[in-house]
Structure 1
Amino acid sequence: MNQTIETMLNHRSIRKFKNTPLSNEQIETIVKSAQMASTSSYIQAYTIIGVKNKEKKETLAKLAGNQPYVANNGHFFIFCADLYRHYLAGDLEGVKVEDSIQSTEKFIVSVVDASLAAQNATIAAESLNLGICYIGGLRNNILEVSELLKLPPYVIPLFGLAVGVPENLSDQKPRLPLENIYQEEEYIQNKEHYISQLKDYNTTVSSYYEQRTGGKRKDHWTEQMASMLSEPKRMHMKEFLEKKGLNKT
């Protein structure tokens, strides 16, 4: 096992950082690493916005659901799906590209591109002994976030990435068993098999919470998922995307 794989296998979310700003060199290294992620057809359909300003971070923290680690970190990156520069490329070349940009396919491409870049950024940060935490809560108030960042048409904020020197290392949550995630040749549609695996995983997760909280918490993974999915959230997303000119066709 090499150092890169050890870094990935050691991943955990960090929600408390020391008051140590990232250096410009660290920021540049992380962004350059993000840029080297694979990208569909060389489209590079994302933009990364770094936020240093304390007041802006505090505003973003409130918009994300009052998450303190959005305000208190070494640097806050926001990964945006971005097809605006591609609109400009069409304009520059005198070619109408709006139909493609507004398609579901290109929206998917932009989200995938941004996500791949973000994971490269994460691995780079963790290899520098920094901690990270992804922040999907920015989509709670996505319109306000978009206005705060002055995002043009065809650009949306997908998620944030809080990065910094960890105050302490959090526990590593147990993942689903490999055999539940990885399949070969085809999807194994065996309900009883899946239910059995999920019950085993519930036992693992319940034990993790029980040890972590001294017996105060013993909930199961399927219990968490069922509760979370029982009520649709962020139902404003479709309307927002269409107003931004994305995912319309």
Structure 2
Amino acid sequence: MNPTIQLLKKHVSVRNFKPQKLNKKEVETLVEAAQSASTASFLQAYSIISIDDEDLLEKIVEKGKLQSFILEAGHFFIFCGDFRRHADLAAHQKIDISGTLEGIDALMVGAIDASLAAQNLVIAAESLGMGACYIGGVRDGIEAIAELLHLPQYVFPIYGLVLGYSAKINDRKPRFPRTSIHHYNGYSKETLEKTNEYEEMTADYYFKRDSSKGPLTWSSTAFKSLLSRPRKHMKAFLNKQGLAKK
């Protein structure tokens, strides 16, 4: 197992950071690593917004109802799907791409491009001894955050990414067994028995991590998230941004 694979297998989300802000060179190095990721048809359909204005960051955390640990971390990025550059240049060259931009696949392309770039950035940060955590809660306050960031049409926030130097690192959460995730030549039959075995594994992990919170399992946390965050406002917001109309 080489050092890169060892680094990947040690990944955990970090929510406790030392009060040490990243400098401009560190931020730019990480963004350059992010830009080296693969991108669909070389569209580069994403933008990365750094939030280094403390007042603005406080407003984003407040309006988006985000976790307060973001304020103490080394840096906060917001990753966006972005077709603004494409739309502007197409209009300048009198090419109509609006039908494509309004389709669902464009939305997927923007989200995928941004996610590939974000994962590159996280791996680069972890290789430098930092920790990171994705903040999907950005989408809960997407309207307010988009307004604070003055996002134009064809740009949409996907998630935040907080990172810095870790003050505390939790044990790695056990993943599903490889055979539950990895299929050969088609989708294999998943059994309830195998999933229940994983439930027991995660129950043991959560109990050892913090027994005061009562019994927790993978499904209790997963279903809580799915039920409490339906985010029905997303379609209306995306339509307003000129996306996902078809």
Query: What TM-score results when the alignment is normalised by the length of structure 2?
Result: 0.95
1:1-249 mapped onto 2 (5 Å cutoff): 1-188=1-188, 190=189, 193-214=190-211, 216-230=213-227, 233-249=230-246
8 Å CA contact retained: 2:21, 2:75: yes
SS in 2 for 1:147: helix
Separation of aligned partners in 2, 1:168 and 1:152? 38
Separation of aligned partners in 2, 1:231 and 1:169? 27
Structure 1 pair 63/170, CA: closer, same or farther in 2 (3 Å)?
A: farther
Structure 1 pair 216/238, CA: closer, same or farther in 2 (3 Å)?
A: closer
Q: CA deviation at 1:109?
A: 0.5
8 Å CA contact retained: 2:64, 2:144: no
8 Å CA contact retained: 1:69, 1:162: no
Identity of aligned residues (%): 38
Separation of aligned partners in 1, 2:166 and 2:228? 34
Structure 1 pair 216/43, CA: closer, same or farther in 2 (3 Å)?
A: closer
Q: CA deviation at 1:125?
A: 0.5
Q: CA deviation at 1:215?
A: 6.2
Structure 1 pair 29/231, CA: closer, same or farther in 2 (3 Å)?
A: closer
> Aligned AA for 1:210?
F
Q: CA deviation at 1:90?
A: 0.5
Q: CA deviation at 1:216?
A: 4.7
Separation of aligned partners in 1, 2:66 and 2:39? 33
Separation of aligned partners in 2, 1:138 and 1:66? 7
> Aligned AA for 1:226?
F
> Aligned AA for 1:181?
I
What whole-Å deviation, never above 9, does each CA across 1:189-241 have from its counterpart, x for those lacking one? x3xx4201111100100000111124653222223333433456211000100
Report the number of matched residues: 246
Across the aligned residues of Structure 1 and Structure 2, the Cα RMSD in angstroms comes to 1.4
Structure 1 pair 227/14, CA: closer, same or farther in 2 (3 Å)?
A: closer
8 Å CA contact retained: 1:207, 1:218: no
Report which stretch shifted further, 83-92 or 116-125. Answer: 83-92
Separation of aligned partners in 2, 1:114 and 1:53? 23
SS in 2 for 1:157: strand
Separation of aligned partners in 2, 1:176 and 1:64? 31
Structure 2 unmatched ranges of 5 or more: none
Separation of aligned partners in 1, 2:138 and 2:212? 32
Structure 1 pair 53/121, CA: closer, same or farther in 2 (3 Å)?
A: same
Separation of aligned partners in 2, 1:228 and 1:214? 20
Query: What TM-score results when the alignment is normalised by the length of structure 1?
Result: 0.94
SS in 1 for 2:191: helix
8 Å CA contact retained: 2:17, 2:72: yes
> Aligned AA for 2:150?
K
Structure 1 unmatched ranges of 5 or more: none
Q: CA deviation at 1:170?
A: 1.8
Q: CA deviation at 1:139?
A: 0.9
Structure 1 pair 232/25, CA: closer, same or farther in 2 (3 Å)?
A: closer
Q: CA deviation at 1:10?
A: 0.8
SS in 1 for 2:230: coil
Report which stretch shifted further, 30-39 or 220-229. Answer: 220-229
Separation of aligned partners in 2, 1:96 and 1:139? 29
Separation of aligned partners in 1, 2:195 and 2:13? 23
Structure 1 pair 230/146, CA: closer, same or farther in 2 (3 Å)?
A: closer
8 Å CA contact retained: 2:77, 2:162: yes
Separation of aligned partners in 1, 2:170 and 2:229? 29
8 Å CA contact retained: 1:198, 1:222: no
